[in-house]
Amino acid sequence: MRWFKPNLRSSINAIFALGHRSAPADSVLEIGIQDIRDAMLELMGDVGDNPSPQVTRRIRYAVDIQALWYLRGDLMAVLAKKHGEAAARDKLEPITEMFTDLGPLGLKSRPSPLSFLPKK
């Protein structure tokens, strides 16, 4: 059994690159992040006299796509308080679709029992 691989440099590079995929171009990523941020802030504006300035601030200053992904839950809570859970889910669906191909592969929405309710 060998303890050391013959090419140490490629082994070290493999360790640091493990699990990472190439990121999209910065211009494409920034446009996507800003579009998602604007859509989320627009939904916060629809709530009215901003019952949660903390959520608005966190959305406005989120630094990456993953932070915005996890802020969907907070946005859902604010919308559900105002409009009800089923309506909030309907309002949040287009934003969830905006995340397609932007975040890590493991970030996916799980199905909800509310998605099977008949539309009014």
Residue ranges covered by each domain of the chain:
24-101
In SS3 terms, 58-69 reads as HHHCCCCHHHHH
Q: pLDDT tens-digit profile of 40-81?
A: 999 988 777 777 889 999 999 999 888 999 999 999 999 999
Q: How far is CA 42 from CA 30, 39, 59, in A?
A: 18, 5, 11
Mean pLDDT of 3-14: 55
Report the b/e string of 40-68 with b at 16+ CB within 10 A.
beebbeebeeeeeeebbebbeebeebeeb
Q: Which pLDDT band, with edges at 50, 70 and 90, does 110 fall under?
A: low
Of 39, 18, 30, 12, nearest to 95 by C-alpha is 39
Against a cut of 0.85, is the pTM above it?
no
Is pLDDT at 90 greater than 90 in this prediction?
yes
Q: How far apart are alpha carbons 76 and 89 in whole angstroms? A: 7
Between 23 and 103, where is the model more confident?
A: 103
Residue 32 host element (H or E): helix 26-46
Between 120 and 45, where is the model more confident?
A: 45
